[in-house]
Amino acid sequence: MEEQGELSMPDIIDGFKSAIGFGPGFLNLMKTRNNALAEVGMGLGEYSYIYVLAYGDQLSSLLEEISRDRLIKPRTRRELAQILFNQLSAPAAQGSNGVSSDLRAAVQDEIVALDSGAHAFPWQDGLPPPVEASLAPFEDRLDELFCEATVRFELRQKNKNPGGFGD
C-alpha cells in the first residue's frame, strides 16, 4: 500500500489497533474451544485428528499454497502419528481382533508416512472407507464450516511455547 501511495499514518494506527485487538479475541476463541473439548472429555490431540479427517480435502489443497510445516507443525504431526499408533495398540491391549488386517496395515503405513515426512497429516491420500462413510452425511455442512483463516490455529498443540507457536 505504501508503494501505491495509499498508506497513511491513520492507516498505520488503525492497523496497529487491529493487531492489538486480535489478541483478546483469539484467546477467547481458544479458551472457548478448549472448554468445549474439556466438557466432552476430548483432548487437543483427538480434536486435531478429527479435524484433519473432516477437512482433509481442504488441507490437501492448502498444502499446495502453504509449506507443510507452516500448515501443520512437526509436533502436531507427531501427535497425530501417536493417535494412529494408539489405534493399533488399543485392540491388542483389549485382546480384540476387531480391526481388519487391511486396516491395520493402512494405519501402519500412515504412521510411517507421517514419521518420514511423506504426509503432512494422516490419510492425506484418502480416508479409510469406514471413516469416509461416517463423514459422508456431513460433507456439505463441513464444507460450509471450513475456515481457511483458522487452520493454523486449529492445529496448534498444547501450548508448549507462549501462544502455542513454535514446535
Model confidence over 129-159: pLDDT tens digits? 989 999 999 999 999 999 888 887 777 655 4
The distance from CA 127 to its chain's CA centroid, rounded to whole angstroms, is 15
Domain locations in the chain as residue ranges: 42-154
Q: What is the pTM of this model?
A: 0.74
The number of helix segments (H) and strand segments (E) in the chain equals 9, 0
Tell me how far apart the alpha carbons of residues 112 and 132 are, in angstroms, rounded to a whole number: 21
* Matching residue, cell 498508506: 7
Give 81-139 pLDDT, tens digit per residue: 999 999 888 765 444 555 678 888 899 999 999 988 889 899 999 999 989 999 999 99
Q: How many CB atoms lie within 10 A of CB 54?
A: 20
What is the mean predicted confidence (pLDDT) over 39-47? 90
The pLDDT mean for the chain works out to 80
64 vs 134: which has the higher pLDDT: 134
Tell me how far apart the alpha carbons of residues 102 and 37 are, in angstroms, rounded to a whole number: 32
Nearest CA among 60, 82, 80, 83 for reference residue 71: 60
Running DSSP on this structure, what letter comes out for residue 72?
S
Residues 14 and 8: beta-carbon distance below 8 Å = no
* Matching residue, cell 491391549: 93
At residue 163, does pLDDT exceed 80?
no
Contact residues for 78 (Cβ-Cβ < 8 A; gap 6+)? 114
